[in-house]
Amino acid sequence: MQSMSHILIVDDDLEIRKLLGRYLTEQGYRVSIASDQRTMKEALQTNEVSLIVLDVLLPDGSGLDICRDLRREGSEIPVILLTALKEDVDRIIGLEIGADDYLGKPFNPRELLARIRAVLRRKVTQDIQLSQVLEHRFGKFKLHPGARQLLDENGDPFDLTTAEFELLLVLVRRPGRLLSRDQLIELTNRSSDDVFDRSIDVLMSRLRKKLGDNDDFQLIKTVRNGGYIFSARVETIGADT
């Protein structure tokens, strides 16, 4: 996996581009570099990229907006955000819009390498899991892991963010089980810091609203001081069913 992986580094700092380009090449990766959003898009059009290391602050756009646009366009290329900003809100937004990991500057290249390897391993595992399931059915909904879509009874897709979809998929795969916030963080392959822990409740609230949960109808139940339970009966349709 490592020798075939192509890493795209997007950062306006020349020294960081040189350092990471040289270091990751020495580790056996194919590396492309871009200094802004324009050259990043050119690289994506001409290369099959395995993972993007993306700076949040670029001269011609925000890395957060770029990541959000990639997910809206259906791109599943893993993204690791780099930033010198320390505010929790930026970390939460980065994770909620579909970034796979988040690393603050300054950083040790070895730490970035470890995160790249972890994200790529998770991507391979997720691809295998998704290929084995065609559809999850519950209530009036159909969830397609491969297409990363949730459909209503009329076949119309819901507008779910990447984080909302991943959270729903974790719940649907474990119906009737009490899942704590720590377990949800681990199962959604998110950073284990308390920032995402606090945002779990926000994500859950948004997801419930989109699913139509209310006092009389609840697919997702809250257990006080315990976590969450997906209460619906789930039928899974596999490739060999």
Alpha-carbon span 27 to 127, nearest angstrom: 24
Average pLDDT over residues 6-26: 96
Please determine, for residue 70, whether its predicted confidence score (pLDDT) is greater than 50.
Answer: yes
pLDDT tier, 187 (very low <50, low <70, confident <90, very high otherwise): confident
| Residues belonging to the chain | 241
Alpha-carbon span 161 to 76, nearest angstrom: 12
20 or 85, higher pLDDT: 20
Looking at the DSSP bridge assignments, the partners of residue 193 are: none
Please determine, for residue 26, whether its predicted confidence score (pLDDT) is greater than 90.
Answer: yes
Alpha-carbon span 38 to 47, nearest angstrom: 14
pLDDT at position 75 = 81
**Contact status, residue 98 vs residue 79, Cβ threshold 8 Å:** yes
Please determine, for residue 203, whether its predicted confidence score (pLDDT) is greater than 50.
Answer: yes
Q: What is the pLDDT of residues 76-97, one digit of tens each?
A: 899 999 987 665 556 667 767 7
Please determine, for residue 133, whether its predicted confidence score (pLDDT) is greater than 60.
Answer: no
What is the architecture of the domain spanning 133-238? Answer: Orthogonal Bundle (1.10)
For the chain, the domains span 6-129, 133-238
Q: What are phi and psi of 138, to 5 degrees?
A: -155, 135
Q: What is the pLDDT of residues 112-129, one digit of tens each?
A: 999 999 999 888 776 665
Structure tokens at 168: 């729903």
CATH entry 3.30.420.10 includes domain 6-129: no
What pTM was estimated for this model as a whole? 0.61
**Contact status, residue 183 vs residue 200, Cβ threshold 8 Å:** no
